[in-house]
Structure 1
Amino acid sequence: MEGHTLWVYAGASLALILTPGQDMLYVATRSLAQGRMAGLFSAIGVCCGILVHTALAAFGVGAILQASEGLFFALKLAGAAYLVYLGIRLLLTRALPPELATGGAALSPLALFWQGMLSNITNPKIVLFFLAFLPQFVDPASPHPTRDLVFLGVLYAAMALPVKAGVGLAGGSLSERVLKRPSTFVWMNRASGAVLVALGLRLAASER
């Protein structure tokens, strides 16, 4: 993988990690309900779930990259459409998610970890997202596309951990500010939505 491509991937990943999506909301609500350490264990669980998605995407997409031109083209178009769809939804989002106002029952650290992991793994949107996002940054001519995909997924999880852990440790104050200023949530969604739309268009326009 070229250095320029890796930097683009890192920048795009960071923008997406900062998106106030389901994972971040889950970590924030656990932090609100049980405190900073609950948010931290939830964040670790979520990032371990990312590694599971990485493995599924790497082995599945890696095989497609090597086996079929037609399947790769279909996957690319489907991924591009899905990224644009997510981006437009974020651009149009105006309401504050109700999840920020509720916390749920208290859980042990281990339960928080597993719940965070399962919440991430069982989210079909994240499965589709990884299938759409990671292949953009892998050269189909690479002799080891599966290895490249694994590297990108692990890098994504490593970048996500300090961000989501930070949200967990400071979840209370962060969520209170968002609740007091809903416009902050709207502008975060607009910025993240623009990134997703741009990535989708880039994927659709890219060559094999």
Structure 2
Amino acid sequence: MSLSFIITSLIVIASPGTGVLYTLAAALTRGSRVSVAAAFGCTLGIVPHIAAAMLGLAAVLHTSALAFAALKWLGVAYLLYMAWQALREQGALHVDEKGAARSLHETIVTGFLINILNPKLSIFFLAFLPQFIPAEELHPLLQMLELGVAFMVLTFAVFVLYGLAAARVRDRVISRPTVMTWLRRTFAAGFVALGAKLAFAER
């Protein structure tokens, strides 16, 4: 695993996207423990895309307009659902200290769905990982798996850092109703923007 792979991966991972947005939302409303669960769920959602890239299924998404569109619009619909949930006072950004432990499983599942419903990720890994595999590599699939696992570890670490940083200012945020209102609107707008970006994505 080269230094260039690590640096490139960190740039890609740290760029604001659905996973980052969801982890921050979890941290600000339900604390650091739930934000770690969100980070884990988003990281877990990468597994099917890496598998798809290794098995060549990403190539199907790239060549089949129907398959790509079906997964893409499911992703768009889910992001719009997340935006609606963010706006609701009892929705995704509801502050519930007692329910935090019970919501860990739900948080992981939601993070998983956010990433698995983005067809661009499969195509990204199909184009991204082979760049760092030498032409003379005897076991390219094994090397791709190793790079994929490394990318997931880096993703989890960066998302956890995002979440812990957001959790530090949580008390100052949730104690102010006006701030919470604007926070809901901001995250809702963010999910809508990401949904729109995905809607206009091409193969």
Q: Deviations over 1:74-106 (max 9, x none)?
A: 99xxxxxxxxxxxxxxxxxxxxxx89x854456
Q: How much does 1:39 deviate?
A: 1.1
Q: How much does 1:132 deviate?
A: 1.9
Give the AA of the match of 1:57: A
- Over the aligned positions, Cα root-mean-square deviation in angstroms equals 3.3
TM-score (norm 2): 0.59
Q: Is the 8 A contact 1:61 1:131 kept in 2?
A: no
Contiguous gaps of at least 5 residues in structure 2: 64-82, 97-101, 174-181, 184-203
Q: How much does 1:142 deviate?
A: 2.3
Aligned to 1:150: 145
Contiguous gaps of at least 5 residues in structure 1: 65-73, 76-97, 181-208
Q: Is the 8 A contact 2:29 2:93 kept in 1?
A: yes
Return the structure number with greater helix share.
Answer: 1
Q: Count the aligned residue pairs.
A: 142
Give the AA of the match of 1:38: V
- Whether 1:42 and 2:38 are equivalent positions in the alignment is yes
Q: How much does 1:141 deviate?
A: 3.8
Task: Mark the CA change 1:130 to 1:118 in structure 2 (over 3 Å): closer, same or farther.
Answer: same
Q: Deviations over 1:22-51 (max 9, x none)?
A: 111111112223222221100011111122
Q: Percent identity?
A: 31
Q: Is the 8 A contact 1:46 1:113 kept in 2?
A: yes
Q: How much does 1:149 deviate?
A: 0.7
Distance in 1 (CA, whole Å) between partners of 2:143 and 2:28 is: 37
Task: Mark the CA change 1:61 to 1:140 in structure 2 (over 3 Å): closer, same or farther.
Answer: farther
Task: Mark the CA change 1:143 to 1:61 in structure 2 (over 3 Å): closer, same or farther.
Answer: farther
TM-score (norm 1): 0.58
Aligned to 2:104: 109
